[in-house]
Structure 1
Amino acid sequence: MTALSTLSALPSSYAVRLTNQMLISATGEQTDSYLHGQLTVNINDLDKHQVRICAHCDNKGKTWSVPYVARFNDGVVLISNKDAGAHSLAQLNKYGVFSKVDIIDASEAYHHYFISDALANSLCKSFFDSLPDSPMSSVSSANGLLFKTPYTQAGFYALITAEHAEAWEEKMAEAVEAIYGQAVFDAILIDNLIPTLSESGVNEYIPQMLNVQAVEGIDFDKGCYMGQEVVARTRFLGKNKRAAYSFTLNHATSVAPGETLEKQLGENWRRAGNIIATAKLQAETWLMAVLSNDTKETDCHRLAENPDITCYPNTQPYNIEQNPSNIIKKRK
C-alpha cells in the first residue's frame, strides 16, 4: 500500500483499505424496537436509504461505541472500529436475549473501503446501480452497501461482500492512483471530528463529550433508550463541560490513545484531558482528545508523556453549542 505524507497530499483518485472495522448485524422481527431502546437515534424512523451516526451507551450514559447505523438486507447494521464494536456487540447480546433479535459479528463476511469521490463512478458502477447523491444516504445491492460520507475529503464508504471483494480489488487497482491503509481513514475521521473511541476511551464519556450531538447523532425527542436520562439531563440542564477537539502535529510521532494532554496556564501546565484517537502518517500525526468545552484555538497544549511536543487545537468543523430555543421546543 502507498504511504501518505499528509492529508493535504491526498490525490484526487484514491482508495483506503479498512482493516480495523467491525460490522454488527441485527435481524429479527423485533430488531427495530430493540435497537430503538439501545441507540441514541430513532431507529423506527430510519429510512432504508439513510445512514446515521449514533451512540450506544450503558445505563449511566457512558458510551460503548459511536457507530454508523443503516438498514441493509433484511436487518440493521452497525459499523464501527473493532475496539468499540466488540464492547457494543457484547452489550447488545447481553440484553438482546429478551427480544426476538439475532445479533452477530458479520465482519468476516464483508470487506470495508473508503473511496474518493473522483473514483466512485468508475469503480462502483459495476457493483451498484447508482451512487448515493447526498451525504449520509446509501444504496445497496447483492454486492454490498455504499453510502456517501459527510467528510471534507469527499467520498464513499463501501461495504463489499467477501465473495465479490476480489472483483472489487481488481477493478480498484485498475482505476485508482493510490491505495492507502487504515491510518489515512483514521486521520480523515479525526480531521472531521467524527467521534471515535479506542479501547482506553470506551465507557468513559457521555455522548455530548464526544460531540455526538453536533453530528446529528442524538434524537432528543425519541422514546426511552439506554442512558437516555443522563443524556437528556445533560442537555437540558447544560451540565456538560467537555468536548472533543482535534490536533495536528507536523511530524510523525507515536502517540497512544489514553495518553494525557496538558494545557499551559501561565508558566505552569495542568492536565487538560485524554487522547481518544490517533493516526500517524509519514510526516503528520493526528490526535483527538476530550477537553474542557471552553478550550480555545490559542490554548497551548503538550503531550504529558512527551512534553517537548506542543500543539494547538484545530478549528472545529461544526458548532458544538446548544440552541436554547431548540431545547425548549423539544421539551414541550
Structure 2
Amino acid sequence: MDWLNDFTPHPTLSSDPLPALMLTHLKSWGIISLIGNDAKSYLQGQVTCDVVQLPQDQSTFGAHCDAKGKVWAAFRLFHHQAGYALFEPKSAIEKQLAELKKYAIFSKVDIIESHDILLGLFGEQAQAMIDSLTTTGGDVRQLNNGGSAVKIDEQRWLLVLDPQAAETLVNQIEALKVEEALWRLYDIQAALPIIEQVEQNEHIPQAINLQALNGISFKKGCYTGQETVARAKYRGINKRAMYIVKGHTDSDIGEETSLERAVGENWRGAGKLMAYYRFNDGETLGLVVLPNNLEAETALRLASQPQATWTIQALPYSLDDDE
C-alpha cells in the first residue's frame, strides 16, 4: 500500500494558521469490532457508557474498566457494519481485547480487531467535504462504499474504510495529506483522553474526565468496575483529573515525559504526559492527570528540561458531573 506513504510532516509554528482541509492516516489508532445478536447486551455489561440508548447516527465516549474500576481503554463507540466499533489507540488494543473477550464465550458475539483503514479528515472545511461525500445527516454516517464517517468535533471526522475504498479516497480528495501528529494536537486542545498501553489500569474514568465528556452513564445497569465509578461520583473519592498543560521545550521530549510541580521552593513528581504536541518554535502542549485540587497557577516543569516553566491551561469543558 504505497499510497499510505503520501502523508508527510507539516511543520508549523504556534502562531501559524492550520490548513483549511487536511487528511491523515491514523496509523497509531485502531478499532475493536463487535458483531452478533448479543453484541449490544454484552457490551452494555462491560463498559461505562449506555450502549442500549445509543442512536444509529450518534457516537459516545466510554471506558472499559477492570474490576477495580481502572481503565483498560477509553474509546469512542459507534454503530458500524451491523455491529459496534470502539475507536481507540492501537497500543491499548491487545490487552483490552483479551479482557473484553473473557466472558464472550457465553454470548453470541464476535469480537475482533478490525483491519479497516482509519483516516482523519480535519480542518475548517472538513464538514463541507463530509456533506459532499454523504447523503444523510447525523454525527455517524454510512458511506456509499460501506464505510463509516464519524464526527469527532466541529472540525474533525473519522473515516473507517476498507483498504480499496481508502486508497480511492486518498487519491481523489483535494486535501493536504499530513502525518497524524496534527490530529493529536486537536485531541489535546479538545482535552480528549488518550489511553495508550503505558497508561492502562492507571486511572479511574473520572480521572480522565469521562464524566465531563458524557462517557459515563450512572443510570444504566451493572458493568465491570461500576462500584468504584459510582463511589467516585457519590462519595467524592476521586482526587484526580486530566488537564491541558503548556510549556517550552528545546528539543523533542521523546519518552522523557515526567512532569514536576512546585511545592514552595521544592519540586515534586506530578505525573507523566499521556500525549503531547511540539510546535517548531518549541511551544509544547500536553495532557496530564494531576491532583484535582491544585491551584490553577501551580508551576510545572518537565523533569528532563527543568529550565522552562509549564502552566495549566483552561479546559474546553466543565468537570462537573451532574448526571
TM-score under structure 1 length normalisation: 0.88
* AA in 1 matched with 2:11: L
How far did residue 166 of structure 1 move? 1.5
Structure 1 unaligned residues grouped into runs of 5+: 327-332
Give the aligned CA root-mean-square deviation in angstroms. Answer: 2.0
* AA in 1 matched with 2:113: D
Partners in 1 of 2:256 and 2:289 — Cα distance?
A: 10
Structure 2 unaligned residues grouped into runs of 5+: 1-7
Query: Equivalent of 2:26, from 7, 11, 18?
Result: 18
Q: Where do 1:199-214 residues align within 5 Å?
A: 199-214=197-212
* AA in 1 matched with 2:295: K
The one-character-per-residue Cα deviations of 1:11-46 (angstroms, maximum 9, x if unpaired) are 222222211111111011110111001110111111
Local SS of the residue matching 1:64: strand
Q: Does the 8 Å CA contact 1:274/1:291 hold for their aligned counterparts?
A: no
Local SS of the residue matching 1:164: helix
| Aligned residue in 1 for 2:151 | 148
Q: Does the 8 Å CA contact 2:120/2:183 hold for their aligned counterparts?
A: no
Q: Where do 1:271-282 residues align within 5 Å?
A: 271-282=269-280
Partners in 1 of 2:264 and 2:116 — Cα distance?
A: 54
Structure 1 stretch 207-216 or stretch 304-313: which is displaced more?
A: 304-313
Local SS of the residue matching 1:33: helix
Q: Higher helix fraction: Structure 1 or Structure 2?
A: 1
Paired residues, what number? 313
| Aligned residue in 2 for 1:128 | 134
- 2:113 is the alignment partner of 1:112: no
- 2:25 is the alignment partner of 1:27: no
Question: Kindly tell me: are residues 120 and 318 of structure 1, through their superposed partners in 2, closer, same or farther at Cα, counting changes over 3 Å?
Answer: closer
| Aligned residue in 2 for 1:84 | 92
Calculate percent identity across the aligned residue pairs: 30
Moved over 4 A (4+): none
TM-score under structure 2 length normalisation: 0.90
How far did residue 217 of structure 1 move? 0.4
| Aligned residue in 1 for 2:165 | 164
Question: Kindly tell me: are residues 123 and 317 of structure 1, through their superposed partners in 2, closer, same or farther at Cα, counting changes over 3 Å?
Answer: closer
| Aligned residue in 2 for 1:270 | 268
| Aligned residue in 1 for 2:227 | 229
Question: Kindly tell me: are residues 167 and 279 of structure 1, through their superposed partners in 2, closer, same or farther at Cα, counting changes over 3 Å?
Answer: same
Partners in 1 of 2:130 and 2:79 — Cα distance?
A: 23
Q: Does the 8 Å CA contact 1:65/1:87 hold for their aligned counterparts?
A: no
Partners in 1 of 2:130 and 2:61 — Cα distance?
A: 25
* AA in 1 matched with 2:141: V
How far did residue 305 of structure 1 move? 2.7
| Aligned residue in 2 for 1:290 | 289
Partners in 1 of 2:129 and 2:194 — Cα distance?
A: 30
The one-character-per-residue Cα deviations of 1:219-241 (angstroms, maximum 9, x if unpaired) are 01110001000000111001111
Partners in 1 of 2:70 and 2:255 — Cα distance?
A: 18
Partners in 1 of 2:125 and 2:285 — Cα distance?
A: 24
Q: Where do 1:314-329 residues align within 5 Å?
A: 314-323=313-322, 326=323
- 2:141 is the alignment partner of 1:139: yes
| Aligned residue in 1 for 2:240 | 242
Question: Kindly tell me: are residues 31 and 226 of structure 1, through their superposed partners in 2, closer, same or farther at Cα, counting changes over 3 Å?
Answer: same
The one-character-per-residue Cα deviations of 1:92-135 (angstroms, maximum 9, x if unpaired) are 122222221100111x233322322414434663x422454xxx
Q: Does the 8 Å CA contact 1:258/1:276 hold for their aligned counterparts?
A: no
